Structure formats: C-alpha cells, structure tokens
Amino acid sequence: MLAAGRPMLAIPGPSVIPDRVLNAMHRAAPDIYGPELEALTRQVVADLRAVAGTRHDVAIYIGNGHAGWEAALANLVARGDRLLVAATGRFGHGWAEIARRLGAEVEVIDFGLRAAIDPDRVAGRLAADRGQAIRAVLAVHADTSTSVRNDLAALRAALDAAGHPALLLADCIASLAADPFGMDACGVDVAVAASQKGLMTPPGLAFVWFGPKAAAARRRADPGPYWDWVPRASPGEFWQYWNGTAPTHLLWGLAEALAMILREEGLSAVLARHARIARAVWAAFEAWGQAPGGPVLNIADPALRSHAVTAVSLAAPQGTALRTWLTDRAGVTLGIGLGMAAPGDPDGHRHFRIGHMGHVNAHMILGTLGAVEAGMRAVGIPFAPGGLAAAAEVVAGA
C-alpha cells in the first residue's frame, strides 16, 4: 500500500543510478579492438584524476570496493609487513582483515563507533616505532557503518610530525564526490574507491590512485598478474586492451556520470549539494530526537559527520520494523545498521542508515524524511515534532 511508484533506494551504496547513466549503457556491445575504447579510457582516466584531486596515476579494476582494497594492498604489502589501521567502524576493520589475509602483520588502533581518528594517537604510535617497521597507515575517509568522517590531512600531518615514512592509504569508497577530498592536497599516497556510491554507476569498477612514494614501494611486493597496477596505469597497450575484456558498459556509464559531476554540475556544486542535503537530514533527526527515546544521530559532532551517509540509533530495537514498513508501505528503502552490534545481537535492530550520496536532490531527501516520519509514527518510535520543518528550513536556507 502506497509503495507503488518510483522507489527510492536510500541505502549507502549502491546509490541511485541516474537515468542518463543507465541510458548511456543501453547499447550494443562495441568492437573492443576499435579505437573507441582507448579514447573512452583516456577520458575516464583524466576524469578520475580530477574527481580525486590528483595528478598521479589511477588503475581501474573490474571489481567492487573489496577488490580495490585488495588491489591497493597487493601492490604494497609483502608477507610479514607491518601495517597500522586506524579504525572508526566496520570498514576499517574489514580492510584490516583483508590485509591479514594477505599476510601482513596488522595492528589496529580502534577509535570506536562514535569518534573520529585522533591523529595524535596515531602520531604517538608511529613515534614509538623506532625501527620504522610500519609500512603504511590505513584509514577510511568516511566509514559508512558509523558515518564518521576522518580528517585525512590531519592524519598526514601526524605522520609527518612523527617523522615516519609510512605510506598513507585512504578508503574513499563512500566519500568520493560526496565529502571534500583532494588526494594531493591531503598528502594521501594511495586512495581507493568504487563506482557504485558517489560515482552513481552500477557496482563493478574499483579504482586505485597511487602517488610516487607508493609507486616506489610497489617494487617490494608481488601483486600477481591481475592486481599489478603498473600495466593498468599505462596508456597504450593497456588502455586499448585492458589485459582482457574491458568492462565496456560500466565504462560508458561511468563516463556519463563523471561528465555530469565534473562538466555539468561541477564538483564544487556537487559537494555543496551533498553538504546541504546532509544538513537537512541531521536537522530532521536533531528535532525528532528531542523526544525521550527518540532517534539519535550516531556522530554527535557535526564536523565529524560524513555528507554521504547518516547512521541513526533508536532506543528500542525498532529499526528493522521501520525499514520494513518504509519499503513495503512507502517505497523507500533505508540501509541496515552495520557493525554497530555483533551479528545476531538483537541490539543490531536499533540501528539504521540513510544513504544520501550521489544522485540525490532536495525532493528525494525531503520525501525520504517525510516517509521516515510516517514510518516512525506507524511503528511507534517516539519523536518530537518539527523534524520536517527543520529539514525544509535547511533546504530553503541561503
């Protein structure tokens, strides 16, 4: 009932795919030996550099974010290498697990589920590493499970202050084209992203950007033939032939999405839109949360919140009921809580997330928030009035 009509997928990836991106892929397969593919790859590579704010190389893989995680590490990590992971949620721990599986000695500094990375603590740990055995520091820019956003430039400054040569590796899978990021400005050595979040394209492409320090470090590792980023970042043979069949349709879709971001709306306008939409979401929950037992934003400090996703906690385990009601009765699907409770723990039902990265505008978010208010009423979640008015005020604001 009331769910028919265009659905709204408000999970933090895959995100809403613009019709234009879908249509760009709606084509017969091309001759992969013709010149079109090389020109397409050339454009996509230039645009991927621009969207990540870097002059450096980017390797494109046919895979999801996990493939990007593994690709970055496979090029840098030899068995027994020491890595330091600064974790602020499920995705930091997930990347650490991949590194362990690849044979690294992984140390995790866990900043919990409601705080950002404290760069001073990382600097302190690096300063104590007198032999400078730690090869890299791994951090997630926006951890999609907690919706915290980490300050990568501050982390870089901490590495430098400690006088430590470790590389800085950043997972920008959720944050790219949603939260401000400039790889070169932040001093990030390796950035990882994927196609299906801020880049508005179906899942299936992973990207690894790497700077000169990382390129030099690559010589110690043996990434194997598929993950090796050296040929993948090379024009000529590779951009024409892709070491196998190119992901032709995903590339067409991605090229369209990047044109929308970089040449039509413009990256700074895209980021400003994400900031405004995120503030509308926060304003709604801050008003609703004034009621005893009302919904609470997971990250208290607005300066530490991602613009891509918002994690919310309820006092009672009603999140799953709310999500089900919204999908069945309103055509809006929210994200599940992730990493906030152990698997199987009923406490997991207290959490949910709203994805607002990519192709999301004011009416989509106001519609989503309106449906959430109806759902909270239907399911019996306490909330104070005024959430929608507060969101509308943010949208209307100068």
Ligand X SMILES: *Cc1c(COP(=O)(O)O)cnc(C)c1O
CB 365 within 8 A of CB 37: no
**Residue 144 binds ligand X, judged by CB under 6 A:** yes
Q: Which of 354, 72, 336, 91 is nearest to 221 (CA)?
A: 72
**Amino acid letter, residue 365:** I
CB 313 within 8 A of CB 295: yes
| Cβ-based neighbours of 345, under 8 Å, separated by 6 or more | none
Stretch that binds ligand X, among 46-54, 96-104, 166-174, 381-389 (CB under 6 A): 166-174
SS3 call for 351: strand
- Contact with ligand X (CB under 6 A): which of 73, 117, 136, 173? 173
**Residue 15 binds ligand X, judged by CB under 6 A:** no
Which residue stretches of the chain are H helix?
A: 19-25, 35-52, 65-74, 90-101, 119-127, 152-161, 183-186, 212-217, 224-227, 229-232, 237-241, 248-259, 267-288, 319-330, 362-379, 387-396
One symbol per residue from 82 to 121: x for binding ligand X (CB under 6 A), - otherwise; what is it? ---------x------------------------------
Cα–Cα dist 139/151, whole Å: 10
- The 10 Å Cβ neighbour count of residue 241 is 15
- Contact with ligand X (CB under 6 A): which of 77, 96, 99, 174? 174
Q: Cβ 170 to ligand X, closest distance in Å?
A: 10
- DSSP class of 16: P
**Residue 194 binds ligand X, judged by CB under 6 A:** yes
**Looking at beta carbons only, is 123 or 174 nearer to ligand X?**
174
The pairs formed by 43-48 with CB atoms below 8 angstroms and a separation of 24 or more are: 43/255, 44/251, 44/254, 44/255, 44/258, 45/239, 47/255, 47/258, 47/259, 47/262, 48/207, 48/209, 48/258
Cα–Cα dist 54/48, whole Å: 9
- Contact with ligand X (CB under 6 A): which of 66, 82, 273, 276? 66
**Looking at beta carbons only, is 140 or 376 nearer to ligand X?**
140
Q: Interhelix angle for 90-101 vs 65-74, to 10°?
A: 50
Q: Cβ 227 to ligand X, closest distance in Å?
A: 15
Stretch that binds ligand X, among 46-54, 113-121, 138-146, 154-162 (CB under 6 A): 138-146
- Contact with ligand X (CB under 6 A): which of 54, 64, 201, 318? 64
Stretch that binds ligand X, among 77-85, 168-176, 260-268, 312-320 (CB under 6 A): 168-176
**Looking at beta carbons only, is 68 or 211 nearer to ligand X?**
68
* Closest-approach residue to ligand X (CB): 65
Give residues 280-309 in contact with ligand X (rule: CB under 6 A): none
- Contact with ligand X (CB under 6 A): which of 108, 140, 186, 284? 140
**Residue 201 binds ligand X, judged by CB under 6 A:** no
Cα–Cα dist 343/345, whole Å: 6
Q: Cβ 63 to ligand X, closest distance in Å?
A: 8
Q: Cβ 220 to ligand X, closest distance in Å?
A: 25
How many residues bind ligand X (CB under 6 A)? The answer is 13
Q: Cβ 108 to ligand X, closest distance in Å?
A: 15
Give residues in contact with ligand X (CB under 6 A).
Answer: 13, 64-66, 91, 140, 143-144, 171, 173-174, 194, 203
